[in-house]
Amino acid sequence: MGSSIRKAIELILSADPELLNILSTTAKVCLTSSIFALLLGVPIGILLGAERFPGRKVLLVLNRTLIGMPPVVCGLLFYMLFSGVGPFRHLHWLFTVKLMILAQVVLITPIIVGVMETFVADTAPALRETAKGLGFGRMKEYRLLINECLYSIFSAYLLSFARAIAEVGAVAMVGGAIAWKTNVMTTAIMMYTNRGSFTLGIALGLILLSLSLLVNIVLSVLQGRLSR
């Protein structure tokens, strides 16, 4: 165990090419999917939290269901849609980074929607009463609301990024964990552990834990700064 950890640290410090490839694929998949999820999730979450319209409660229930969707179910769905018998087979996206990103967007957008909706539903009524009382228009009201949401937007993003980077089921199914192509940290840990090669798995585990720590540190700092 001790020697494996020592070797893993050496692997990180020596900038092993395979490790770097896994890290860059992970960064590409997780950063792209979390940014797309943010762009989709923030406006939807704000609208669901701030507005009252027919069908809103149905959408909220649907979103909560999607938050709890097992990643393998999401992976299975995209596998069926893009495999040789699926309606999107002609795109040839199966076992590509593109489909891994798409599957992750579907998995993490509901998290962002949920975080934003909860915050806005709590904040919007009081803000709106004050803004209306001052005679502000809808645009100014929304600008002020978004300003109130800044911390929530950052924390929703970091949470979704953390979920994306730790996710294994969907990316393994639609990406196929192909070395040097679609292998990300989580799928690589599984692959190398199954082979009995713990060194790279431990190195990736250490990096994942460090990233999780970093996300939490950033969240704490932002919480302090943005609540001022």
Interaction site with other proteins (CB under 8 A):
126-127, 129-136, 140, 144, 147-148, 150, 226-228
CB 175 within 8 A of CB 100: yes
Q: Quote the tokens at residue 106.
A: 């579907």
Q: Which is nearer to other proteins, 21 or 118 (CB)?
A: 118
Nearest Cα to Cα of residue 200 among 29, 9, 28? 9
Least Å distance, CB 147 to other proteins, is: 6
Q: Which is nearer to other proteins, 144 or 166 (CB)?
A: 144
CB 162 within 8 A of CB 212: yes
- Main-chain dihedrals φ then ψ at residue 178, nearest 5 degrees: -80, 125
Alpha-carbon distance values, 211 to 22, 26, 158, 215 (Å): 15, 12, 11, 6
Least Å distance, CB 123 to other proteins, is: 8
Q: Which is nearer to other proteins, 89 or 132 (CB)?
A: 132
CA distance 37 to 108: 6
Least Å distance, CB 208 to other proteins, is: 33
Q: How many CB atoms lie within 10 A of CB 208?
A: 17
Least Å distance, CB 47 to other proteins, is: 20
Alpha-carbon distance values, 163 to 36, 60, 132, 141, 170 (Å): 14, 20, 38, 32, 12
Q: Which is nearer to other proteins, 64 or 140 (CB)?
A: 140
Least Å distance, CB 141 to other proteins, is: 11
CA distance 171 to 29: 9
As a whole number of Å, the CA-based R_g of the chain is 20
Q: Which is nearer to other proteins, 132 or 181 (CB)?
A: 132
Least Å distance, CB 149 to other proteins, is: 9
Q: Which is nearer to other proteins, 150 or 209 (CB)?
A: 150
